[in-house]
Amino acid sequence: MGREAAYDEVFDGQAHFRALLDSTARPGALNFLTPVQIDPPAGLNRATALIAFALMDGNSNFATVNMTQSEGSYLAANTRARRTEIDGADFIFASGDEAPEFLEAACCGTLLYPDTAATLILQIQDAVVQIQDAPERPLTGGLRLTLKGPGVDGISALFVRGIRADLLLALQARNAEFPLGLDAILTFVDESGRACLAALPRTTHVSWEKC
Amino acid sequence: MGYVAVKGGQDAIANANELVEYYRLKGRTEPVRLDQVKTQFRLAIDRAMGEGSLYAPEHAALALIQVEGDSFEAAFHLRAYRTTLERRYYSEVMNTREMIVERRISSTFREIPGGQILGPTRDYSMRLLEPALLQQSLGSIDTFLEKVQGYLEPEKLHGITTFGKVIDLFQAEGIITRETQEGDNRRVVDVTREAIKFPAPRSAVLQMLARAETGGLMCMGYSTMRGFAVGHGTIGELRVGRVPLRVVDARGRRRYLGRIKVTECEMVGGAAKRRAAKRGEKNGRSSSKERPTLSVGYGLCFGQNETKAICMGMVDTALRSPDPLSPASSQEFVLHHTECVEGYGFTNHLKLPHYVTFQSELDNIRRVVKAGEQKPQAVTG
């Protein structure tokens, strides 16, 4: 799998990192990644690939969950990061539809060094932020996430399709003992082709209901 | 009179940044060129590279120009820059026996293989200010260079390139051993990539010391000589020169990268106590069957910075002989407090607003004072 020529490690990386920073500081906030012409293999959406490019370099490890060889090779070729098992990975790429068992192996850091925890990149189908007190449900057939915690003014709501409730439950269990835990980034490409992301840092308390 | 928070916003910060640049330039002299700093401020650059943990003379020269020669800031700028770089390779273990020596001395023996070579040093100068420098011109510099270059005997230039090490003599005689302390052979950590944990393995200790602040390290090293640790070591060998660096690339081929200049020092100390201690013998004495050995402390840093390499050697010795009365033999004390960016950063953070924490301290004191004033009244009333 070849290297993406159109991607600029400095300027695109900075812009995308900024978007990720904003989403992490305001859990549940959707951000668009400035468009870059890239062509990742079928198992990766463009937002996932761009976040991987922004965060990883030759000093990082990553693991993919139930993806083919080509996804891993693509990420390795474009970031120089090394592919490894889930328990040793700094970054874990998975689908929101994945069964939650893989989370048990993920590294949640240590009390002295919680920063060594893994970052989870979960590919979802789509997501919509609920505008304050809007009566209608913007998405159906997914989950309505209610978010509380640092960076959220009161509560915020995010409608998400393509994420399993038992995966959220497992994530909640792994985040029970702060500062240990996993920071999750949700990625998808919306219907107009924009690469989007939202973040659920380990500090965010998430509850959900079907909608 | 209460304390009032001083308001300072982005405008004030932008103005301060501009003003410090104005102060750098307000003398309206010719800008200092990078090549001038690189060639004429060699030792300042070596120090900045060592403390900045980045072997990059041009970047160090730029940093020194930019920060008006402040060694802490220069190191800070280089460290900040190096954090943006990816570590693509680890070099093979450098062998200083391959060093092309510019200077090497030993205080343990007068006669050493290859001889003592004083090389470029100010150790034997009178430390008198030299007003004649003010009259120097390119012409007078050329005359001087020609004179010195005239001493060279071209046919001998390639005669000797490397020298055996003094430490090898000790080892051949069995006065020092290759024996390592427990934990020395744990995996080699990279302190630039992972936070240091205590007790730190020797690889982490030496890496931290190699990029420690020179003055801080001298303070620790000096304290060991003045009686706060094992004692006064002797310089087995101090050498300055350029050593080849090699990496193994992704395809497994060995690649020569070039040479870097380093200062290396082996401090030879009194009888090594650790063997006895390790074997749990009484009174710290070794058994009669066991040969006594000398301890060796190792120092290595970028460029020519002999004070730092010597102090690193002394501190390495102290760290390997734990002693509760010696600050320099406490890993945490030495490694945290000689770390230039951490120490400099934490000291300077004091200049940032602490209005809230200070206000709470003040509130507490006022509450206590008020309570004290009210009490007698309560009794009399």
B278 with B190, same domain: the answer is yes
Taking CB atoms within 8 Å and a gap of at least 24, the contacts of B362-367 are B362/B3
Residue B87, chain A, CB below 8 Å: the answer is yes
Give the span between the Cα atoms of B51 and B9, in whole angstroms.
Answer: 32
B-chain residues near A58 (CB < 8 A): 86-88
The total number of structural domains in chain A stands at 1
Residue B305 · residue B51 · CB < 8 Å: no
Quote the percentage of chain A above a pLDDT of 70: 96
The verdict on a CB contact (< 8 Å) between A58 and B87 is yes
Among the residue ranges B96-100, B110-114, B174-178, B322-326, the one predicted with the least confidence is B174-178
Give the span between the Cα atoms of A60 and A80, in whole angstroms.
Answer: 8
Mean pLDDT of A43-62: 95
The verdict on a CB contact (< 8 Å) between A58 and B86 is yes
B34 with B110, same domain: the answer is no
- Minimal Cβ distance to B195: which of A58, A59, A113: A113
Does residue A43 or residue B380 have the better pLDDT? A43
B328 with B186, same domain: the answer is yes
Find the CATH number of the domain harbouring A95: 3.40.50.11310
User: Quick check: A155 pLDDT over 60?
Assistant: yes
Mean pLDDT of B6-28: 88
B76 with B184, same domain: the answer is no
Structure tokens at B271: 């009888």
Q: For residue B220, is it within any domain? A: yes
User: Quick check: B6 pLDDT over 50?
Assistant: no
Nearest CA in chain B to A82: B88
The verdict on a CB contact (< 8 Å) between B86 and A57 is yes
The verdict on a CB contact (< 8 Å) between B86 and A80 is yes
A-chain residues near B193 (CB < 8 A): 59
Q: Residue A195 is inside which H or E element, if any?
A: strand A195-200
Neighbours of B183 (CB within 10 A): 10
A-chain residues near B199 (CB < 8 A): none
Give the span between the Cα atoms of B338 and B311, in whole angstroms.
Answer: 11
Q: For residue B146, is it within any domain? A: no
B23 with B107, same domain: the answer is no
User: Quick check: B161 pLDDT over 80?
Assistant: no
Give this complex's ipTM.
0.71
pLDDT score recorded for residue B21: 97
**Inter-chain CB pairs, A–B, below 8 Å:** 11
B213 with B251, same domain: the answer is yes
**Residue A94 domain boundaries:** 11-125+174-203
Q: End-to-end alpha-carbon separation of chain A, Å? A: 39
B199 with B229, same domain: the answer is yes
B298 with B328, same domain: the answer is yes
pLDDT score recorded for residue B279: 44
Mean pLDDT of A166-190: 96
User: Quick check: B378 pLDDT over 80?
Assistant: no
Q: What's the pLDDT tens digit per position in B211-247?
A: 999 999 999 999 998 888 767 789 999 999 999 999 9
The total number of structural domains in chain B stands at 2
Q: What's the pLDDT tens digit per position in B183-204?
A: 666 678 899 888 888 888 889 9
B308 with B331, same domain: the answer is yes
Neighbours of B153 (CB within 10 A): 7
Give the span between the Cα atoms of A115 and B134, in whole angstroms.
Answer: 55
**Residue B68 domain boundaries:** 10-82
Structure tokens at B42: 């060699």
Q: What's the pLDDT tens digit per position in B84-143?
A: 898 888 999 999 999 999 999 999 988 888 889 999 999 999 999 999 999 999 999 999
User: Quick check: A109 pLDDT over 80?
Assistant: yes
Could you tell me which of B244, B93, B108 has the C-alpha nearest to residue B166? B108
B62 with B189, same domain: the answer is no
